């Protein structure tokens, strides 16, 4: 093969060294891609990626912490600059106060988030492992978090992960000290769910744009806006009865009659700092056969209710927790009577 | 020695930026590619056989830091570096215009092929993977390439000649 220019001929090949290196590296890369796509999630190359993520998590933590502080600082500085012009002689004091405000604001926000998470755990009555987010996805094609708990803390792949106000994703891989969590709005994510009132089942999928869609719902089922969407527990992983969100809108395609159901998640899926990995749940949560219990729980884990932190909210959560305990003890007694029989 | 050490230090900085800074400055949910942009700019400024090793090692690191198929980034970067080093043996590099145009075109082709590679590997998303990811990624990485280019063109890189497919040094096409 040769390139021909007027009065010039350039040969393909050149010295052997460069060609051999290029071809060899291309072959190694291609073989690696093929091996990676063919091996399972527990494969060696996937394990290598997870280990790299664990090793780099201390560095990622610097970024996450800095980002969080910067966001808080921006708000505080904006607030302070209004009075700064007229009080120029106090600028030095203001700078010190601004630093304190940033730190206090950070603690306040963290306390608020943790309070909401505790409310969520109380309402569901699940057992959990609390953790911090130490890294965000370093590529554009996956919405994956790295958290600072791993198999040493009892975390394993498939377990659901809750944010401040609801389900945020699922553990996809673990190392002894860290875990990878794929968010529910990732295009590769799929959760088996059902509609709370009609019990119609479907698959909740994420998308490239981060929007949640409910698919595979029977065409004959009537779906209403505002209806709660809860995990069905089918396929393992997600425990039955966790509230994912509500039906935001239903778009019907005029040409073929198919419908697209868009879901608003209860959880905030951006700027996540702390999460709970659910490791056990001994009741049916919002999927309880008792409609009153299910409704009470759905109200208790509503994002607005969780964030308000009011006494009424505490009562709702206590009520939901009591009803869940009653459900679980009923279930246990049923199981023991079945064992007796 | 100095001309060989500088690209290595630059590579280390690009990796640290990718780990710490990149996840924080997302643009339309697109994470900037400090490593990919660095390899492309280095390929234009430096060229030579050693660039294949930079493309391979840094590409592997980029894949290890993310959740994308291991090997896809180095594979595409190797092709990009090979084409760029050949092209810049005949293209004018005395003004920034041609290198920057080459950067943008290379990034666009890289991102689109990357998205196609992911679709072949079984990723969900279809055409929106290209529209919502590849195009914004090209834009943000092009900005990083511009910054890299103006910073790195002041550094003493020794432009090497690649032996994989050598086009004779000639002024004919300049």
Is B36 within the bounds of a domain? yes
Is B168 within the bounds of a domain? no
Q: Which chain B residue has its CA at the smallest distance from A186's CA?
A: B124
Q: What is the pLDDT of residues B82-139, one digit of tens each?
A: 998 888 877 777 788 888 999 999 999 999 999 999 999 888 888 888 888 888 999 9
Distance from CA of A282 to the nearest CA of B (A): 33
Token digits of residue A134: 């130490």
Q: What is the pLDDT of residues A118-150, one digit of tens each?
A: 777 777 778 889 899 988 888 888 899 999 999
ipTM comes to 0.85
- Determine the structural domain holding residue B26 and report its residue range: 2-152
The verdict on B171 touching A (C-beta cutoff 8 Å) is no
Helix (H) or strand (E) holding A161: strand A160-162
| A36-50, A120-134, A182-196, A296-310: range with lowest mean pLDDT | A296-310
Triad A248, A254, A259: Cα angle to 5°: 35
Report d(CA B23, CA A145) in Å as an integer: 10
DSSP SS3 for A32: helix
Cβ-proximal residues to A61 (8 Å cutoff; 6+ apart), any chain: A134, A135
Per-chain mean pLDDT for chain A: 77
C-alpha to C-alpha distances, B163 to B49, B89, B91, nearest whole angstrom: 7, 12, 18
Is B157 within the bounds of a domain? no
Q: Any idea where the domains of chain A sit in the sequence?
A: 19-83+91-305
Contact at CB, A32 and B129, closer than 8 angstroms: no
Question: Is the pLDDT confidence value at A177 over 70?
Answer: yes
Is B163 within the bounds of a domain? no
CATH number of the CATH domain containing B27: 1.10.1760
Report d(CA A231, CA A239) in Å as an integer: 7
Is B142 within the bounds of a domain? yes
Is B12 within the bounds of a domain? yes
Contact at CB, A29 and B59, closer than 8 angstroms: yes
Packing angle of the helix pair A44-84, B50-65 (nearest 10 deg): 80
Cβ-proximal residues to B91 (8 Å cutoff; 6+ apart), any chain: B98, B102, B173, B174
What is the tally of structural domains in chain B? 1
| Touching B: A residues 17-46, CB under 8 Å | 17-19, 21-22, 25-26, 28-33, 35-37, 45
Q: Which chain B residue has its CA at the smallest distance from A27's CA?
A: B75
Report d(CA A188, CA A207) in Å as an integer: 8
- For residue A204, what are the β-bridge partners? A191, A214
Q: Which chain A residue has its CA at the smallest distance from B36's CA?
A: A139
Average pLDDT score over residue span A309-331: 56
């Amino acid at each position: 093969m040769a390139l021909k220019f007027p009065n010039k001929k350039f040969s393909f090949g050149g010295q052997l060294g460069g060609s051999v290196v290029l071809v060899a590296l291309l072959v190694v890369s291609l073989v690696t891609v093929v091996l990676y796509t063919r091996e399972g999630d527990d494969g060696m190359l996937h394990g290598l990626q997870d280990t790299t993520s664990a090793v780099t998590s201390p560095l990622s933590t610097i970024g996450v912490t800095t980002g969080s502080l910067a966001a808080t600082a921006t708000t505080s500085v904006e607030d302070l600059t209004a009075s700064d012009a007229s009080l120029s002689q106090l600028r030095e004091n203001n700078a010190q106060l601004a630093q304190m405000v940033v730190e206090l604001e950070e603690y306040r926000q963290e306390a608020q988030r943790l309070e909401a998470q505790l409310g969520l755990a109380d309402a569901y009555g699940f057992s959990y492992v609390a953790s911090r987010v130490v890294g965000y996805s370093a590529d554009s094609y996956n919405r994956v978090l790295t958290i600072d708990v791993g198999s040493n803390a009892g975390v394993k792949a498939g377990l659901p992960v809750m944010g401040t106000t609801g389900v945020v994703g699922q553990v996809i891989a673990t190392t002894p000290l860290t875990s990878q969590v794929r968010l529910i709005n990732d295009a590769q994510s799929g959760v088996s769910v059902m509609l709370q009132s009609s019990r119609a089942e479907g698959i909740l999928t994420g998308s490239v744009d981060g929007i949640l869609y409910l698919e595979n719902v029977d065409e004959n089922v009537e779906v209403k806006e505002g209806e709660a969407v809860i995990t069905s527990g089918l396929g393992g992983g997600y425990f039955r009865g966790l509230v994912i969100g509500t039906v935001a809108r239903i778009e019907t395609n005029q040409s073929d009659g198919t419908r697209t159901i868009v879901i608003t998640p209860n959880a905030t899926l951006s700027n996540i700092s702390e999460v709970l990995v659910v490791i056990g749940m001994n009741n049916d949560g919002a999927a309880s056969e008792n409609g009153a219990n299910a409704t009470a729980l759905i109200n208790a884990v509503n994002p607005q209710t969780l964030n308000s932190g009011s006494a009424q909210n505490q009562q709702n959560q206590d009520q939901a927790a009591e009803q869940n305990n009653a459900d679980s003890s009923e279930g246990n007694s049923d199981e023991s009577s079945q064992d007796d029989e | 020695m100095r001309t060989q050490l500088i690209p290595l230090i630059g590579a280390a900085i690009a990796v640290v930026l990718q780990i710490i800074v990149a996840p924080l400055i997302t643009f339309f949910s697109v994470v900037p590619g400090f490593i990919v942009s660095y390899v492309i700019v280095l390929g234009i400024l430096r060229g030579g056989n050693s660039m294949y090793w930079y493309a391979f090692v840094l590409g592997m690191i980029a894949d290890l830091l993310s959740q994308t198929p291991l090997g896809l980034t180095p594979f595409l970067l190797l092709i990009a570096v090979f084409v760029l080093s050949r092209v810049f043996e005949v293209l004018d590099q005395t003004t920034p215009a041609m290198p920057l145009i080459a950067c943008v075109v290379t990034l666009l082709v890289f991102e689109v092929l990357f998205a196609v590679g992911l679709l072949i590997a079984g990723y969900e998303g279809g055409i929106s993977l290209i529209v919502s990811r590849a195009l914004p990624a090209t834009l943000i990485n092009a900005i990083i390439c511009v910054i890299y280019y103006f910073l790195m063109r002041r550094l003493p890189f020794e432009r090497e000649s690649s032996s994989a497919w050598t086009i004779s040094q000639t002024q004919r096409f300049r």
